[in-house]
Amino acid sequence: MLFHLAGSCVAVLPDARYGLDRRAWADARVERELAVWADRVGMTPSAFQDRLYELAVGYEGARSAALAPFEAYFRVSGVSQNWSMFAAGTVESDRFGLRARRCEDCPWEWLYVHADDDHAWSRAVLGHPRVRSAIFRWSWPSHAGRYERGCRALAERVASADADVVAVECSFERSTLPSPSRPDVPAPAWGRARVVQTRTVAR
């Protein structure tokens, strides 16, 4: 019991491995946060990022060493203590959308836009918390590969429901949320589109 408790107390320390992927640091949401902290500690953003990376590597090494004696126990018991939930509120936010077309020159038709009652194709599936959770991760640069593969899986799902569809597009709508200090914000814009030709998807 004390072993469980001791291991859990070590495991609750934040896991910095995902943060060490510096591709994610290029995202506007992370850039903004890093700039705030760089300003607070009086460093240039790039110097701050390098210093932070060094610190994070050292911290992660120490954390992994402390966790090593408990790893086998955690693997068997399934116990984990990684509670990374809403670590930051970001000015920019993303909304997922899916559209399809029936010929090369046909217009795109929206099938699904998250939280949009007018475009709710397969909402019970795409809106399920577990599927949403996966899609939410795709919006980050470090998950680009998964986004590609996930979009292919969605295209296959669309194609199997409607044989006339020739292409499916996944994209994210980037919005900037207003606040009292920034009441006027740019209009939302769709981007990061991935197009999958459904005829090339194995059915």
Bridge pairing between strands 109-113 and 167-176: unpaired
CA 201 – CA 197 distance, rounded (Å): 7
Q: According to the binding rule CB under 8 A, does residue 194 interact with other proteins?
A: no
CA 91 – CA 176 distance, rounded (Å): 6
- For 145, residues 6+ apart whose C-beta sits below 8 A from its C-beta are none
Task: Please say which residue, 65 or 153, places its beta carbon nearer to other proteins.
Answer: 153
Shortest CB 164 distance to other proteins, Å: 19
Q: Of 48-56, 59-67, 155-163, 191-199, which part binds other proteins (CB under 8 A)? A: 155-163
Task: Please say which residue, 103 or 199, places its beta carbon nearer to other proteins.
Answer: 199
Shortest CB 8 distance to other proteins, Å: 6
Task: Please say which residue, 126 or 167, places its beta carbon nearer to other proteins.
Answer: 126
With contact defined as beta carbons under 8 Å apart, do 30 and 56 qualify? no
* Closest of 174, 154, 163, 147 to residue 111, by C-alpha: 154
Tokens read off for 53: 């990376």
Q: According to the binding rule CB under 8 A, does residue 186 interact with other proteins?
A: no
User: Please, which of residues 96-135 interact with other proteins by CB under 8 A?
Assistant: 96, 114-115, 124-125, 128-135
Among 42, 72, 86, 187, binds other proteins (CB under 8 A): 86
User: Please, which of residues 46-65 interact with other proteins by CB under 8 A?
Assistant: none
* Closest of 24, 15, 21 to residue 61, by C-alpha: 15
With contact defined as beta carbons under 8 Å apart, do 127 and 114 qualify? yes
**Chain residues in the site for other proteins (CB under 8 A):** 1, 4-5, 8-9, 12-14, 33, 36-37, 40, 77-91, 93-96, 114-115, 124-125, 128-137, 146, 149-150, 152-154, 156-157, 160, 173, 175, 177-181, 183
